[in-house]
Amino acid sequence: MLELFLDSSGDDLIQTGQPMKPIRCILFACLLPTAYCLLLTGCGPTKDERKAHYAIEDYRLADYGHATEVLRPLANKTDENYVLNNARLGSSALAGYDLDTAESAFLNAYEVINSTGTNSGGRGAAAAIFSEKMKVWKGEPFEKAMVNFYLGVIYYMQHDYENARAAFENSLFKLRDYGESKNKDDQYRKVESDFVIGYIMLAKCFQRMGDEQNALKNFNRAVELRRNIGSLADPRRNFESNVLLVVDFGQGPRRVTNPYDGAFVGFGPKPFEVGSIPIPRVIIGNQVAVGPRSGDMAAMPTIDLLSLAQEKRWQDIDTIRAVKDVVGTGLIAAGGYEAYRASNSTGSEQRRDATAAIALIGAGALLKASSQADTRTWEMLPRTVFLIPLRLPPGRHDITVDFPEISGLHQTWRGLVVPDRGEATYYVRIQRHSAGPYDWPPAAMSQKAPAPTQGTPGAPGAPAPRNPFDPPSGPSSAAPLPGGTAGR
Amino acid sequence: MFVAGCPKNTALSHGKTTALDSVDLVEMTDDMTMKILGDPLVQAEIRTRGTLKVVIQPVENKMIGEILPRGAKEAFVARLRALLAEQARDRFTWVMNRDNWYAIRDRELDRGPDPDRVQPEFALTARFSSITDESSKRRASYYLCVYSLTDLNAGTLLWTGKYEVKKSAVKGFLD
């Protein structure tokens, strides 16, 4: 490659010691750093990154099965994208109701997120010096919290309330990083108020385990943090609920870089850039059960990840990267000045200036190339999560979640099973291409669990159909619930 | 690039957690085996009844912010049962958990009259609790793992043993 920089006679600066012509000198000064940049960063997306990108496209098209299959081998690789790919796999598998895969993937991510020193052994230093992408991605606090939240949802769906509780508790731990990084309880409180889903689900776990006191404490905390969720955080409503809809809506935050030099500028879009979160309706059969004009306003947004992402806790590496970027720019500017001087001088002075210009521009370009932002993002995250507890007659129901403010945005499930006791939890990922209608049980689940077959669903006196989510029969699994009712 | 490319430098090779791990599993169950076999009340019960008919239950997770997956919940009692079965074969009869018993019968046998299942007299249970706290600087957990042998008919506690451990992990650069 260096031959490109030789003059036509084959002479070069180092071999001959002869001064280069000014124009060649400047050309050399400009092309050398470009070559450095190509060497350092000139790889573009790797094969695995391209595969992950295809999987994300599949996810957006609601082809969750294919997304899961593409991501599965990537998530097995214990490289710097291990946590990210497992989070992606967990999201895809959860949306496709492949709960075993989703649990395992989120658990893998959870274990590394909860570890310390993951980036030791040279990775941290390499990330600071060369490229931040070398560090093992563990996400920002809100991303860590969401890994724990989804893990909790999966356990909750499977009636494993002990582990669900632990996961929701952990999700709240992860947000402490925000509060402590800036000085103030108020700051932490603000972040907490954007994560009331953690408190509500924690309260629901306690309620299902018969710990009314802790349930009430957490419901109260949720309402204290966000006044407009009184109906959602009503202990009685949650106690009586036999269906819980967990509805993910919108696109979560993405890391945004400066288009000129790739420097990190934060998360986008900002909430005001995309407007407020629309309120959904829940339609059972043909009747609006929850939502605007139904008299039931339980479906309120519990979180705004776009807002939460604006609380990004700047890590040390961001500072290092910013310094490298500024110093790199300064060195290139100084090199440009030296090149200019070289073009206006002669003899040994020209040689000295040209050498200095090359060195400065090369060093500056290297620094800037290594200060490129790490833009890895968990693209499947929603903007918000709606939690909608419902009390419905046992049997099978067609349920639609729609958004009257956004034309065409809805999803329908046919034959969702409503148990006569306990609570069935259904996860709904609202996207442009996921209107359905989908039949219950979904393919990924029906391969693993027997489909409901008993009796005539919903018929008076008929036994309620068996839900694949039902806990195994037997007294040990039907934990008595408070209020003197043995299960519900 | 050289560092990241090293096959041993993976996302899992350096992390340290405060979770209960395989070392705790081995230490804890070894300790419980020794304690249960050396307990005078357990010995007296064995002398009175002959072998003890014991059923085991998975660990009850009461830990704060610590997930114990199904496999681990069973492993922490299954190893204890295996050690007891190995070291005191003639003193314990292990009875299958009722739910599992019926589940396997449902899968493998035609439904018929009530099986002559050996009725357990004792239950070997475990409850793990923890106090966990996490900040931007560190994560710390104190664990109390309590094993119990309970008389199912009388409702009395024949034996109980505990294992305590404290763990902390300091967060560093990029954690």
Partner residues linked to A359 by β-bridges: none
CB contact under 8 A, B3 and A125: yes
CB contact under 8 A, A476 and B173: no
CB contact under 8 A, B3 and A116: no
Instruction: List the helix and strand counts (H, then E) for chain B.
Output: 5, 6
Contact list in B for residue A111 (CB cut-off 8 A) is: 15, 17, 19
What is the structure's pLDDT at B89?
Answer: 86
SS3 at position A458:
coil
A177 pLDDT tier (thresholds 50, 70, 90):
low
Answer whether B131 touches A (CB < 8 Å): no
Answer whether B52 touches A (CB < 8 Å): no
Query: Please, what is the average pLDDT of chain A?
Result: 79
Contact list in B for residue A119 (CB cut-off 8 A) is: 14, 172-175
**Residues lower than pLDDT 70 in chain B:** 1-8, 11-12, 109-115, 173-175
Contact list in B for residue A138 (CB cut-off 8 A) is: 174-175
Q: Which of B10, B133, B169 sits opposite A78 (nearest CB)?
A: B10
Partner residues linked to B91 by β-bridges: none
Answer whether B18 touches A (CB < 8 Å): yes
Contact list in B for residue A474 (CB cut-off 8 A) is: 98-99, 102
- ipTM of the prediction: 0.82
**Polymer length of chain A:** 488
Q: What is the pLDDT of residues A224-279, one digit of tens each?
A: 888 888 889 999 999 999 999 999 999 999 988 777 666 666 888 999 999 999 99
Taking the CA of residue B60 and the nearest CA in chain A, the distance in Å comes to 8
Two structure tokens written together for B32: 């419980």
Is residue B35 within 8 A of residue B126, CB to CB? The reply is no
| Percent helix, strand and coil across chain B, each to the nearest 5 | 35, 30, 35
Answer whether B62 touches A (CB < 8 Å): yes
Q: What is the pLDDT of residues A361-394, one digit of tens each?
A: 888 887 777 667 788 899 999 999 999 999 999 9
Q: Which residue of B has its CA nearest to A173?
A: B134
Taking the CA of residue B163 and the nearest CA in chain A, the distance in Å comes to 20
| Percent helix, strand and coil across chain A, each to the nearest 5 | 50, 15, 40
Mean pLDDT of A97-119: 91
